[in-house]
Amino acid sequence: MTQLVPGGGASAVGAPPRPLGVGCSYLPSLPAVTTSVLDLVDFVEVSPDLLCREVERTAGPGVGMAFVPRLLDDALSVLDGVPVTVHGLELSIGTATGWNEAYLEVLDQFLDLVPARWHSEHLGFLLAQRADGRTVNAGVPLPLPFTREAVECVAPRAAALVDRYRLPFLLENATYYLPGLPADPGWDELDFLCALTDAAPCGLLLDLFNLHCNAVNHGFDLMAALARLPLDRVVEVHLAGGGVEQGFLLDSHSGSVPPPVWTALEWLLPLAPNLAGVLYEVQEPAFPLVGLETLRGELDRVGQLWRRFRGGPE
């Protein structure tokens, strides 16, 4: 199998992770939802930062994070004996002045409790520094410019995470809504992702709905974009659905997977040699819009496709 390192060389964590299959997101305030779909999934993905509250840091600048005991205990109970992956939200790996150390402190604690198969993070930034030195939080992940400078910022940080945790690390492609993001001459999102996966010892968490949103909102062809990606670096796929607001298709994780994304998944499944898992993603606040019946139906469809293209009993 292709190594998850630049140029295909030796890696601190060796080969890509063994395939798991179908996954779902853990909803911290709705643990019974996860329990009710365990018969349809092979792994559960946890965002440790959603199990936390903000606290004052005892050392270092910025705001700290601490686990809410009830949320952590519920998660450990539900996840007992279930394969787990980790998907971070608040690392802010692309912040020019440095990432969010408070999130890594939480991740250290969580990985001491739960043996994750791999971990991942959004390719973007939440935090920025004002001229007066104060840190501000955007509240939602913002996209990075499509530049070599951004690659050179993120790649060594990805390498540091591989060294720190000795686990496969993945970066997730982001949505962006406004045109005219800063970019090097001739570069677009796909050039940026290719350059980053070539420079960094990480895999790609390919969010097909994110890419579909960008294709719809910015007028490019989804399938042509997929064909430009290094498919051997795709370790995980996210699927989701969302609605349209003020002319933009939103990555709101609030609906069924649209047909173009299913088509993209069927194209990808036999072609990504190191793909280890496909996850249908629902955001907790949007779960009432989706409902358990739709969640189970989407997970069942993912399972059928996984078995069809990747093996396993029908």
Q: Give the model's pLDDT for residue 72.
A: 98
Least confident of 14-18, 20-24, 112-116, 285-289: 14-18
Q: CA-CA distances (angstroms) from residue 51 to 27, 45, 69, 106?
A: 9, 13, 8, 10
Mean pLDDT along residues 170-184: 95
Domains of the chain: 6-309 (3.20.20.150)
Mean pLDDT along residues 92-99: 93
Q: Does the pLDDT value for residue 61 go beyond 60?
A: no
pLDDT, tens digit, 9 for 90 and up, residues 234-273: 999 999 999 999 999 999 999 999 999 999 999 999 999 9
Gap between the Cα atoms of 138 and 63, Å rounded = 14
pLDDT, tens digit, 9 for 90 and up, residues 115-126: 999 999 999 998
Average pLDDT over the chain, rounded to whole?
A: 92
Q: Give the model's pLDDT for residue 87.
A: 98
Q: Does the pLDDT value for residue 304 go beyond 60?
A: yes
Q: What string of DSSP letters covers 53-103?
A: EEEE-SSSSSEEEEE-HHHHHHHHHHHTTS-EEEEESS--TT-TT---HHH
Q: Does the pLDDT value for residue 156 go beyond 70?
A: yes
Report the share of the chain in percent with pLDDT over 90. Answer: 83
Closest Cα to residue 120, out of 54, 48, 66? 48
Higher pLDDT residue, 71 or 129? 71
Report the share of the chain in percent with pLDDT over 70. Answer: 93
| Banded pLDDT at 131 (limits 50, 70, 90) | confident
Mean pLDDT along residues 291-298: 97
| Banded pLDDT at 16 (limits 50, 70, 90) | confident
Mean pLDDT along residues 74-93: 97
